[in-house]
């Protein structure tokens, strides 16, 4: 749905659903038929936001609030030996807000910026893969069965999902005669810390940069 109360404002809302087909993972080392096959994942997403022209059309401001719920999210986790296995997390939710702006400060200078907050968590994931340390501890207690190790990731952050991201750019465009233009830019980018894998191993935590 889209609504424009005036020439400088556009408000919108969307609701969508989708799926990603399931399959089989031939690399799995566990003689368990249920783990050999993984299910389809299903997603439901909602978004509301607005796009605004301000400062006599010299600047644009966009803002969006979003919510996505995924059932049976397909994730790849370490199997405790030498490979990674595709399986399903029960459910995850990703929600947040993002905004970006573009401002024509002068005839030759444009400033572009963005800021986003993301809250992405597994709402239910009771049989997630273990960390290396957990695999070792499980093997000591259950020799030869380390692939059966699992941990409860319910309520934990989703991997590859930094909580905060931001960017700022300065772009210049300068005429150098009738047939030559010089374009240049300076970019700053920020990413909050995030995990590189689905088991939340602290050794695989990417610090903020």
| Least-confidence region, from 39-43, 61-65, 134-138 | 134-138
pLDDT in the model for residue 35: 66
pLDDT in the model for residue 197: 81
Pairing state between β 205-206 and 37-38? unpaired
Contact 2, 10 (CB under 8 A): yes
CA 186 → CA 100, 105, 106, distances in Å?
A: 17, 15, 16
Region 105-113: mean pLDDT is 95
Residue 208: exposure state from Cβ atoms within 10 A (0-12, 13-18, ≥19): exposed
Region 17-38: mean pLDDT is 74
pLDDT in the model for residue 81: 64
Q: How confident is the model at residue 23 (pLDDT cuts 50, 70, 90)?
A: confident
pTM for the complete prediction?
A: 0.82
What is the percentage of the chain residues whose pLDDT exceeds 70?
A: 92
Q: How confident is the model at residue 63 (pLDDT cuts 50, 70, 90)?
A: very high
Region 66-85: mean pLDDT is 79
pLDDT of residue 97 exceeding 70? yes
CA separation for the pair 134, 121 (Å, rounded): 21
What is the percentage of the chain residues whose pLDDT exceeds 90?
A: 54
| Least-confidence region, from 92-96, 127-131, 161-165 | 127-131
Structure tokens at 40: 């389809």
CA separation for the pair 152, 124 (Å, rounded): 8
pLDDT of residue 83 exceeding 70? no
CA 112 → CA 3, 28, 72, 166, 188, distances in Å?
A: 25, 47, 37, 11, 10
Mean pLDDT of the chain: 88
**Residue from 97, 102, 116, 122 nearest 47 by CA:** 97
pLDDT in the model for residue 193: 96
Q: How confident is the model at residue 80 (pLDDT cuts 50, 70, 90)?
A: low
């Amino acid at each position: 749905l889209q609504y424009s109360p005036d020439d400088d404002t556009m408000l919108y809302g969307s609701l969508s659903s989708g799926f990603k087909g399931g399959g089989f993972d031939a690399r799995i080392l566990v003689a368990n038929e249920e783990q050999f096959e993984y299910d389809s994942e299903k997603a439901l997403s909602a978004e509301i936001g607005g796009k605004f022209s301000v400062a006599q059309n010299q600047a644009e401001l966009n803002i969006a609030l979003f919510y996505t719920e995924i059932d049976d999210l397909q994730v790849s986790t370490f199997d405790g030996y030498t490979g990674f296995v595709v399986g399903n997390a029960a459910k995850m939710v990703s929600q947040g807000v993002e905004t970006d702006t573009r401002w024509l400060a002068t005839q030759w200078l444009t400033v572009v910026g963005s800021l986003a907050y993301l809250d992405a968590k597994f709402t239910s994931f009771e049989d997630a893969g273990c960390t290396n340390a957990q695999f070792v501890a499980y093997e000591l207690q259950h020799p030869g069965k380390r692939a059966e190790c699992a941990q409860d990731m319910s309520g934990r952050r989703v991997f590859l999902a930094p909580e905060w991201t931001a960017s700022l750019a300065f772009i210049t465009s300068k005429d150098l005669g009738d047939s030559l233009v010089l374009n240049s830019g300076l970019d700053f980018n920020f990413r909050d810390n995030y995990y590189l894998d689905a088991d939340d191993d602290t050794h695989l935590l990417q610090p903020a940069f």
